[in-house]
Structure 1
Amino acid sequence: MARKAGSATQWRIPLMKLRTLAPKVRPMRAKVEVKKQTDDFYRSAEWIALRKQVRAERGRICEGCGKTYEDDGSPVDLILDHIIERRDGGADFDPRNVQQLCTRAGGNGRGRIGGCHNRKTASEKQRRLQGR
């Protein structure tokens, strides 16, 4: 309803109309993608040499699940991972402190195996949060 110009409230919106706007206005969920920065340590010549040495000695196989190829037939994507993490005092370049772990689930025709690196990283993060 309109009121006289110059009054404190020129327009009055019925309360019922304001309530009908609520379902139409929802908070926006913004998806923010954070790109993980790779530690310069993993680009060092020593680390690259260790990765090549381990691959030559142990072959292209996940040491967590034994996967050798992905579902699409391509060779398994492996990450050289510290068994005892560096931040927990693990040796940086000791071949006995590293393992090759696969990054994606599936492969070798055995269903949902794999994803060993992500699983190991998540369990270490959980352990650290619990203070063990």
Structure 2
Amino acid sequence: MGRLKSMPSRLGALPPRVAAMPKVADSFYQSAEWKDYRARHRAWTIQRQGGVWCLICGSTHRLILDHREERKDGGADLPPFDQMDWYCAGHHNAKTAAARARRARGGRG
């Protein structure tokens, strides 16, 4: 039985049927206004808690400032600092995917 598990696959990975759409960042996140807000929020967070890290896992790598209430759901572009959270890229993507799924279901659950 051990020999079968150690044999390499002959097929390899199959290509996806449909290529994923390239991600296009909302132009708002490239604006000078957002970049200034993000820098001020980072300074505020450092002063308040002594550093900046992911709200979920505590990572300090690839952090993204995220709206608690999504802009697409009616959240403000530049809300008060206490209505924003820092997430690592992985947790930000998971939170965004969950919000997108909730919108697709019509806002339920």
Structure 1 length-normalised TM? 0.58
Give, in angstroms, the shift of residue 129 of structure 1: 1.7
Aligned partner of 1:87 among 72, 82, 89: 72
Query: 1:65 — aligned with what?
Result: 57
In 2, distance between residues paired with 1:127 and 1:30?
26
Matches within 5 A, 1:1-132: 30=17, 32-58=19-45, 59-68=51-60, 76-94=61-79, 95-103=81-89, 115-131=90-106, 132=108
DSSP 3-state at the match of 2:87 = strand
Give, in angstroms, the shift of residue 122 of structure 1: 1.5
Give, in angstroms, the shift of residue 31 of structure 1: 5.3
In the alignment, structure 1 segments of 5+ residues that lack a partner are 1-27, 69-75, 104-114
Q: Which protein is richer in helix relative to its size?
A: 2
In 2, distance between residues paired with 1:60 and 1:96?
14
Give, in angstroms, the shift of residue 33 of structure 1: 4.3
Flag the structure with larger Rg.
1
User: Relative CO higher for 1 or 2, CA cutoff 8 Å, sep ≥ 6?
Assistant: 2
In 2, distance between residues paired with 1:85 and 1:53?
20
**Residues 91 and 97 of structure 1 are in contact (CA less than 8 Å); yes or no, is this contact kept in structure 2?**
no
How many residues get paired?
87
DSSP 3-state at the match of 1:80 = strand
CA RMSD of aligned residues (A): 1.9
Q: 1:29 to 1:89 in 2, by over 3 A?
A: closer
In the alignment, structure 2 segments of 5+ residues that lack a partner are 1-14, 46-50
